[in-house]
Amino acid sequence: MGISDVDSWPSFSHLTTDSLLFRFLAAEFGASQTSKERRRRSPYAGPMGTPGNTESLIAAARSGDKRAVGRLISHVENDPVDAAAVLRQVYAETRNAWVTGITGAPGAGKSTLVNLLVGAWSGAGKRVAVLAVDPTSPFTGGALLGDRIRMEQRSGGSDVLFRSMATRGWLGGLARATERVATLCAGLGYDEVVIETVGVGQSEVDVAATADSTIVVVTPAWGDGVQVAKAGVMEIGDVFVVNKADRDGVDDTVRELIEMLGMSNGVSWEPPVVTTVATAGHGRNELLEALHRHRAAVEGEGSDSRIGKRRRRDFHRALKDAFEASAAEALGKSIGTSLEADVVAGSIDPWTAAAELLRTVAAD
């Protein structure tokens, strides 16, 4: 059954419009049918290459227009050239935002914990952006919107942005454009930027390179000591949360975590272990206090140190994006097609051809 085979879809008339399943199906199957119409209605529809249009979008986004924010995010996600044009204009304003990453296995309660943080920060008058990295839909190539649906039912407000991002095959727990979008949100005036990873297990370590603070969420009886020791996420956490602490085994899990974390030598920050029952709001204040202490410790090293690390990371990403864009452009030229044909014919190996193409790009 394809997306266009509307007549063959099963009937969902028995679902209420506020049910989770109805909203999921509407988001998943309805988005592709209405996106063009939404763009036509948008007052910001038009080419991003026009400086005036980009500036008006940024001004509207900073004033709280979520449609303007959404359009900017879409361009930053989908087009590296547009991304560079937008990020150049907002980058000077990014230094005041704090990026918090939250990772952990599926079902650990990451989204519910994000709700607790969002509620606390928005209640304190802060603008909050949540980037929820979701699995990729096999139908549309977009994000399966489960995280956003759950979170929008419990939190909201004009100063709270939720954005689902599809992994599109990108590994490490993030979508490829997550860092760029986090930078954009910071530049648009969001005080707190939260990145929730897709939730696939031990490989979700990329978030630590993007976030200022990283929360690792586990549940009671999540694995024996050997499993804990080999988990890559153990090395990236600034704060560890044992969620669903009303279940059996929570004390053993906390003890194992503390023992494992105690094996680290020469670290300036000792990650605390916080217990929560996110669905009931228990442990929220303790989690906020742990995050506050980590932020104070990082800022104690000097804001220039934190900002410097972020700017170095952003430069490396921008350089990589620029090389990829230039290489893709060069592939479409005669030198690129010639080298590609030579590789296919076996007269040159791929690495030599790639080096030759990069030399051409550098010369230009």
For the chain, give every domain's residue range. Answer: 94-300, 305-363
What is the model's pTM? 0.76
- The second-level CATH assignment, the architecture, of 94-300 is 3-Layer(aba) Sandwich (3.40)
Q: Are 306 and 212 in contact (CB under 8 A)?
A: yes
Q: Name residues whose C-beta falls within 8 Å of residue 4's C-beta, 6 or more positions apart in sequence.
A: none
User: Does residue 212 or residue 205 have the better pLDDT?
Assistant: 212
- Which residue is listed with tokens 């199957």? 29
Q: What is the mean pLDDT of the segment spanning 320-349? A: 90
d(CA 254, CA 325) in angstroms, rounded, equals 47
Q: Write out the two tokens for 33.
A: 């049918």
d(CA 174, CA 199) in angstroms, rounded, equals 9
For residue 129, report the phi and psi dihedrals to the nearest 5 degrees.
-115, 130
Q: What is the mean pLDDT of the segment spanning 47-72? A: 82
92 has pLDDT over 70 = yes
In order of 168, 207, 215, 267, 274, the CA distances from 238 in angstroms are: 28, 12, 6, 11, 11
pLDDT band at 52 (very low <50, low <70, confident <90, very high): low
pLDDT of residue 137: 47
User: Does residue 317 or residue 56 have the better pLDDT?
Assistant: 56
Closest CA to 82 of 163, 184, 185: 184
Question: What number of other Cβ atoms are within 10 A of residue 178's Cβ?
Answer: 24
pLDDT of residue 100: 95
Q: What is the mean pLDDT of the segment spanning 282-294? A: 96
pLDDT band at 165 (very low <50, low <70, confident <90, very high): confident
pLDDT band at 302 (very low <50, low <70, confident <90, very high): low
Q: Are 264 and 274 in contact (CB under 8 A)?
A: no
301 has pLDDT over 70 = yes
How many residues appear in the chain? 364
118 has pLDDT over 70 = yes
Q: Write out the two tokens for 284.
A: 């929220």
Q: Are 287 and 239 in contact (CB under 8 A)?
A: yes
Q: What is the mean pLDDT of the segment spanning 230-253? A: 84
Closest CA to 126 of 93, 153, 161, 94: 161
142 has pLDDT over 50 = no
Residues β-bridged to residue 8: none
110 has pLDDT over 50 = yes
pLDDT of residue 157: 66
38 has pLDDT over 70 = no
Closest CA to 189 of 216, 161, 162: 161
Question: What number of other Cβ atoms are within 10 A of residue 336's Cβ?
Answer: 19
What share of the chain has pLDDT > 70, as a percent?
Answer: 69
